[in-house]
Amino acid sequence: MVDSLQQWQEVEAVLADLSQASQEHHYRQTHRLVQDYLDRLQLSPREQQGLEPLLKSLERMQAKLEQQVLHIAVFGLVGRGKSSLLNALVGETVFETGAIHGVTTAIATAAWPLTTDEDGVQRLRWSGLGDVQVELIDTPGIDEIDGDQWEALAKRVAQQADLILFVVSGDISQLEQDTLTVLHQAHKPLLLVLNKADQYGDRDREAIRNKLADERLRHLISIDEIVTVAAAPRQAEPEYDGDRLVGTKLVSLPPQVEPLRQRIITLLLHEGQSLLALNALLQMAMVDRQVVRRKLQSRDRQAEELIWRFAIAKGMAVAINPISFVDLLGGAAIDVALILQLSQLYDLPIGEGKAIALLRTIAVGMGSLGLGEGLVRVGLSALKGLMGVAAPVSGGLSLGVYVPVALTQAGIGGFATYAIGQVTKAYLANGADWGPEGAGLLTQQILDSLDEAAILQRLRGEIDRRLRLKQL
């Protein structure tokens, strides 16, 4: 399927190598792999139906690779200061904030003209690849959208993101912990941002950081991945009426987000290419799983029709032919032809020699069914031939026995082909691999799952109808 084996061998090689020196080489290789996958992907209209959003997402990922765009998504409860944090990082108000909780009611994005020197004149660049674009994604508060809807939104945004920031303002709630678990499943790097640090003293801040990395979150986050900031710090100052002190007022102070900013810059400079490449490969793998599943569903229907046609054809051939030797050879030829047709259907074409070897393996796996089918067919062929020869002598009376014998033999032969087709289909659907069970056990499992009586009845009825139409 789209030369899957070769394609994924290349993907595995890139994944195994991403941690080594040449990130630029791996980035370009990933870019080529994704583009080749899109170019070679062939889906029928039926197969494509319902997969459009996934395919569009992969096309967007390819555009990200082409334009070198990284996405940073921010999540958190209402009132944790997500939008204020993003504005502080950008250096201007690009995301709406307000005193009322829940100002952000939909996903919002903005470019982050990230700079790497103190004067703010040098753009973030990857050696050999040039300027990097960074886009920030603000999301609604976790607790202001219905749970199922928010989880779907979180998965969709996290899938697009290359880095996730999760904003808290103190010890976390159970809802925040559950959300972190969902985001962790996206397999993206995640920084836990402790905002509103200006509200705590140094000792309290450190205590909160240690508590955030306690047993509950140890499997999700380490203390090194917790960054402390104050996106919109305020300080109380005395308020005077003339010379008279009348109270205090809160005065806004400059944001204290430089530790987070430097952490992000360092991460994007040293690991950004790998993050984007890995994200693209994960996205391609997810799309491919869905594509393969859809193709298998579509091909499963086609395979069933094909197997049934060959089972009927073999039954017809067996019913008509009275010579046991020719009967067996012809039946084997039909089975080999079925295997060849199925291999073409599953994009795993094999030669005639391999098809014969596969038929032999399946026959061994079928054990007593394969042997019994051969013996019964030989015996019935002999009986059928005798009835045919005796017809002139008996005045045609022996033909009354000939037809039931022929139908019985046809049903047995057709059922064997049907079973061979089912085993072959399972083998090919598994990428031409028997799986951990092995050929014998897989064959037996499939045989056990078949309703032999129902299949034989259907085969005999169909063959009888066709024989009568041919006036045989």
User: Can you tell me the distance from the alpha carbon of 243 to that of 437, in angstroms, rounded to the nearest whole number?
Assistant: 89
Q: 324-329, long-range: CB within 8 Å, 24+ apart, which pairs?
A: 324/377, 324/378, 324/381, 324/382, 324/385, 327/377, 327/378, 327/381, 327/413, 328/374, 328/377, 328/378
In 3-state terms, what secondary structure has residue 86? helix
pLDDT value of position 374: 46
pLDDT value of position 296: 74
Residues of the chain with pLDDT under 50: 1-2, 5, 8, 15-16, 18-21, 98-104, 121, 370-380, 382-384, 386-401, 471-472
In the chain, list all ranges with CATH 3.40.50.300. Answer: 41-98+110-255
Distances, alpha carbon 153 to alpha carbons 85, 146, 159, in Å: 21, 10, 10
Domain 41-98+110-255 has CATH 2.40.110.10: no
Question: Phi-psi region for residue 396, left (φ > 0), alpha (ψ -120 to 50) or beta?
Answer: left
pLDDT value of position 470: 58
pLDDT value of position 152: 81
pLDDT value of position 1: 46
pLDDT value of position 380: 46
pLDDT value of position 116: 54
pLDDT value of position 310: 93
pLDDT value of position 14: 54
Q: Cα 161–167–173 angle (5° rounding)?
A: 120
pLDDT value of position 422: 92
pLDDT value of position 370: 45
